[in-house]
Chain A
């Protein structure tokens, strides 16, 4: 899940905190990040999220996370921190004779 908050730098004094909004489009699907809203508390943020991100029945469930609570990997870590894709982790790496049929 890509986290898109601005760095949790010091918010302006008296500013409404930022909440990240995740919406489940329908049962059977996972919650997907939709955007963010500002609100003083979770209950208000939830109502704002509903009004902003589900005006056309785009959701059956909403998750909210305070933006400051998100822990994210280092954006510069691409190559070294994430493991390289090993071809032998994929089924296409292996050849199976046609005679075997579906495997």
Chain B
């Protein structure tokens, strides 16, 4: 669907597009848009959708071992929400003229990415708490600003997602609170989870502004509304007092309240480690993608049977002609 190829008057369309953006109006699916805008949107929404889907794995890993039936029911609901988020986003992405099958294919071939954060393992139950609190927390900080992004279907998906995310963060924080107020061993579990998830949670908000290749154009097009560093600072400011409430130690010796800035100063993120994970060398990259591909292949017969059944019904085959 390359609508721009049939454009009679390219420059009028470009100025209409620019006028919509500067008026703060949304771009809608069948509007003319620059090829690069469409490409950037597809890349960003797809990466986001893939992250929701792959993100089910680290927590899904603990469903059968949740410490109580209530915790299990909550975790099932949370993981199911993440599947739903992936589907809202695929639905939004498809309005840009790419098919679901293509998106799956691009993920499976490693040609589109998902968030680096899901390439870390969940070693204890406390990790489920830390993920809800920190990973969903960081994601929400980013997603709240994306509810105002310039592409209509993406913005609407974000509104729906944000409504559901706050349950995710609160259930995570509740798990952390329970552990932090529990036995010595439970406190140690909570601290260990914070130690491992803190830095990856800061890094998942993306490279620092001076290294971020897409930032300027994305800000100009209203795809992004804040830079990675701005979002990261807000996340740190919100989260540090929560860690103090839990009585846990944030693993950053440079962390200090800066009265002048009115923000928490924090230490340098190890970007080399981050890029290693992005490049495919994190602890679980291979496992996550292999699991996804396996699930897709294992489900092939279901999809084929569904299509065969639909074709049979459409041709009026008698119902009981087994």
Contacts and interface: CB of A to CB of B under 8 A. Distances in A.
A75 B30 contact: yes
Given A18-B94, A38-B100, A40-B307, A5 B87 contact: no
Contacts of B37: none
Q: How large is the interface on A (under 10, 10 to 19, 20 to 34, 35 or more residues)?
A: 20 to 34
Contacts of B164: 56
B99 A16 contact: no
A52 interface: yes
B97 A6 contact: yes
Contacts of A96: none
A51 B310 CA distance: 20
A44 to B, nearest CB: 6
Interface in A49-63: 51-52, 55-56
A14 to B, nearest CB: 6
Given A75-B28, A75-B31, A41 B309 contact: yes
A14 B101 CA distance: 10
Q: How large is the interface on B (under 10, 10 to 19, 20 to 34, 35 or more residues)?
A: 35 or more
A35 to B, nearest CB: 4
B176 interface: no
Contacts of B307: 14, 16, 40
A69 interface: no
Contacts of A51: 84
Contacts of B157: 35
A9 interface: yes
Interface string A7-18: 101011011101
B99 A35 contact: no
B207 interface: no
Given A14-B307, A37-B87, A37-B91, A55 B1 contact: no
B91 A36 contact: yes
A6 B99 CA distance: 9
A40 B309 contact: yes
Nearest to A2: B28
A5 B29 contact: yes
Contact of A12 (B30, B91, B99): B99
B81 A6 contact: no
A44 B88 CA distance: 17
Nearest to B28: A2
A5 B313 contact: no
Interface in B52-106: 77, 80-81, 84, 87-88, 91-92, 94-102
Given A6-B98, A75-B30, A55 B91 contact: no
Contacts of A72: 30
28 contacts: A2-B28, A2-B152, A4-B95, A5-B29, A6-B96, A6-B98, A7-B30, A7-B97, A12-B102, A14-B307, A15-B99, A18-B94, A36-B94, A37-B91, A38-B100, A40-B303, A40-B306, A40-B309, A41-B306, A41-B309, A41-B310, A41-B313, A44-B306, A55-B77, A55-B84, A75-B28, A75-B30, A75-B31
Interface of A: 2, 4-7, 9, 11-12, 14-16, 18, 35-41, 44, 51-52, 55-56, 72, 75-76
